[in-house]
Amino acid sequence: MSDNGKMIAEAAERILIDLADPQTVTAARDDRWKEILWPVLAENGLSLAWVPEELGGVGVALPEVFDIIAAAGRFALAVPLTETLLAGWLLAEAGIQSPQARMSVAPAQAGTQLTINAVGLVSGRAASVPFAGEVDYLAIVANGAEGAVIALVSTSDCTIEPGVNLAGDAQGDVIFKAAKPVAVAPAPAGAEMHLLLMGCAVRSHQISGALRSLLERSVTYAGERIAFGKPIGKFQAVQQNLARLAGEVAAAAAASASAVDALANMESWDTGLILEITAAKIRCAEAAETGCSIAHQIHGAIGITREHVLHRFTLRALAWRDDFGNESYWAVHLGKLIAERGADELWPLLASR
């Protein structure tokens, strides 16, 4: 890790410890902590860490930004930091300067398509956009007669149908009715798919981070909770569950790290890279389902109460599975991709990873 990347990652950890401690924000009666946190994140360059310096950002290397994303997962962060990072990356792909503001991206679900007409107005509907009701801008990919474009659109020029995800974080459908972009530029070939894949890598890393916190908290709880005169962590059944949870955490960490390594060393968006990213999303989503179930079994009924911190991690890990395509979608996509290459190409592809 470079000195700049290490400094940024350490700054993120310190800020989140001070201003976004999960236990503290769980006990908070309102969301004022978010308005305190965001300016600090922005002032320290965290929100635009992925944006090159020539476009007004910090220019942190791609894999080092994922350290920030992992921290956001470990803290079950409920502000659009990772979405703003992803939007900054997308805008930079087209040479568009990012605003110093909260951002999200669209489309955030497979199968959604936005269009841009000859006079530069965007139309369409983007489903389940993360933090749609809490951001100032959207970085989008839209298709036009002369090819795809990347555009920056103010949310004030869109109609947002508000909603929430499983964790209660803002998520809504965004309707573009001849919206005029703030900035627009031609998109690289395959930009829409690349956005979905980058979203998969981001969510996989967040899930991995959240599962790591789940394991740490479950081990601590099992050592403190007394039943029948001894800590429940002394019972073999609980020990087996902790071992299973540790296995899921390790699998998610390995899969998400492999995807980041592939992105850091990519020469093109080839089949090998797609395999790494989609396999990571599939495996991390599976780990979230299994790991969250185990963590709640260990904690018992107290883990589902609003006052307990556990649900901040489990609900977000489960909600993140669905963003940018769920595991079922990517399993089918990956299966078709492998089938098109033919049986003789499968083993060489796997052996090359």
Average pLDDT of the segment spanning 290-315: 94
Cβ within 8 Å of residue 249, ≥6 positions away: 208, 211, 212, 214, 215, 287, 291
**230 and 100 share a domain?**
no
Distance CA 252, CA 207 (A): 8
Q: Which residue has the higher pLDDT, 304 or 192?
A: 192
Of 165, 186, 207, the one marking the end of a domain is 186
**44 and 159 share a domain?**
yes
**23 and 150 share a domain?**
yes
Of 186, 219, 249, the one marking the end of a domain is 186
Average pLDDT of the segment spanning 166-188: 96
**66 and 178 share a domain?**
yes
Per-residue pLDDT at 1 exceeds 80: no
Domain count, the chain: 2
**172 and 315 share a domain?**
no
Q: Which residue has the higher pLDDT, 113 or 175?
A: 175
Per-residue model confidence (pLDDT) at position 349: 86
Per-residue model confidence (pLDDT) at position 8: 79
**337 and 210 share a domain?**
yes
Per-residue pLDDT at 6 exceeds 90: no
**196 and 163 share a domain?**
no
Residue-number span of the structural domain to which 126 is assigned: 3-186
Q: Which residue has the higher pLDDT, 349 or 286?
A: 286
**63 and 141 share a domain?**
yes
What is the pLDDT confidence band of residue 285, given thresholds at 50, 70 and 90?
very high
Mind giving me the DSSP string for 133-193?
Answer: TT-SEEEEEEEETTEEEEEEEEGGGSEEE--B-TTS-BEEEEEEEEE--SEEEEPPTTHHH
Average pLDDT of the segment spanning 81-85: 98
Per-residue model confidence (pLDDT) at position 308: 92
CB 140 within 8 A of CB 122: yes
Per-residue model confidence (pLDDT) at position 37: 97
Q: Which residue has the higher pLDDT, 170 or 61?
A: 170
Question: Average per-residue pLDDT in the chain?
Answer: 94
Per-residue model confidence (pLDDT) at position 350: 85
**218 and 181 share a domain?**
no
**15-72 per-position pLDDT tens digit:** 999 999 999 999 988 999 999 999 999 999 999 999 999 998 988 988 899 999 999 9
**286 and 177 share a domain?**
no
CATH of the domain at 272: 1.20.140.10
Per-residue pLDDT at 5 exceeds 80: no
Least confident segment among 4-13, 61-70, 270-279, 332-341: 4-13
Of 148, 165, 186, the one marking the end of a domain is 186
Residue type, 110: A
**142 and 197 share a domain?**
no
Q: How many residues does the chain have?
A: 353
**237-283 per-position pLDDT tens digit:** 999 999 999 999 999 999 999 999 999 998 889 999 999 999 999 99
Average pLDDT of the segment spanning 293-297: 97
**Residue whose C-alpha is closest to residue 325's, from 281, 291, 273, 277:** 281
Residue type, 326: N
Per-residue pLDDT at 2 exceeds 80: no
